[in-house]
Amino acid sequence: MVKEFAAGGEEAAHLIGVISDTHGLLRPEAVEALRGVELIVHAGDIGKPEVVEQLQELAPVVAVRGNVDNGAWAEPFPFVQRVKIGEVSVLMIHNLKELPLRAPGESGRVIVYGHSHKAVNGDKDGALYLNPGSAGKRRFGLPVTVALLKIEGGKVAAEIVFIASEATKPSR
């Protein structure tokens, strides 16, 4: 299923908030970092429905289910979702290792995923691979982050935004 997101036409510039691995915690810093976006995509491990409800106060939300998203509240969220923003296709999945095999050109221009809690912003095989990192509780000594995705026409660019003020501590 492909969800179409249209605001301002295909040539308009779009600013999309990207978040993942909240695990039931929506930090005020994450809310501030996402303020002003047109759409929020959540790459799974939402943790509880209140997270999506709070995000919807900022902008429409499209989310996929992660491995901790269980129970009746999580059933409406698919494991894989495709969103078309202007002329750009965004494929969303929680765990990149579970990305289904697909024909060339079917994957989308942007692949958004989570699960590892490690932020990634890089090009591979003609697509932008974007993991916003974890916006929930700090784990594995990694920073707490979200991402902003900018789409203008067929051009895409992303930025990782560090949102937690506490220093990163090495994991033991």
Give the pLDDT of residue 3: 62
In a domain, 26, yes or no: yes
Mean pLDDT by groups of 10 residues along the chain of 172 residues: 54 91 95 97 97 97 96 96 90 89 57 94 92 88 93 92 64 37
In a domain, 92, yes or no: yes
* Number of independent structural domains in the chain: 1
Give the pLDDT of residue 16: 97
* CA–CA distance, 121 with 69 (Å, rounded to integer): 25
Query: pTM value?
Result: 0.88
CATH number, position 52: 3.60.21.10
* CA–CA distance, 172 with 166 (Å, rounded to integer): 17
Q: Count the neighbouring beta carbons within 10 Å of the beta carbon of residue 96.
A: 16
Give the pLDDT of residue 9: 56
Give the pLDDT of residue 166: 53
Instruction: Please tell me what DSSP assigns to residue 94.
Output: S
Range of the domain at 74: 2-162
Give the pLDDT of residue 172: 35
In a domain, 172, yes or no: no
> Under 8 Å CB-to-CB from 50, ≥6 apart: which residues?
24, 26
- Among left, alpha and beta (phi > 0; psi -120 to 50; other), residue 165 is alpha
In a domain, 15, yes or no: yes
Give the pLDDT of residue 171: 39
In a domain, 130, yes or no: yes
Give the pLDDT of residue 137: 82
In a domain, 57, yes or no: yes
In a domain, 171, yes or no: no
What tokens appear for 154 in the block? Answer: 């067929």
In a domain, 169, yes or no: no
Expressed in angstroms, the distance from the first to the final Cα of the chain is: 42
Burial profile 39-66: b = 16 or more Cβ within 10 angstroms, e = fewer: bbbbbbbbbbbebbeebeebbebbbbbb
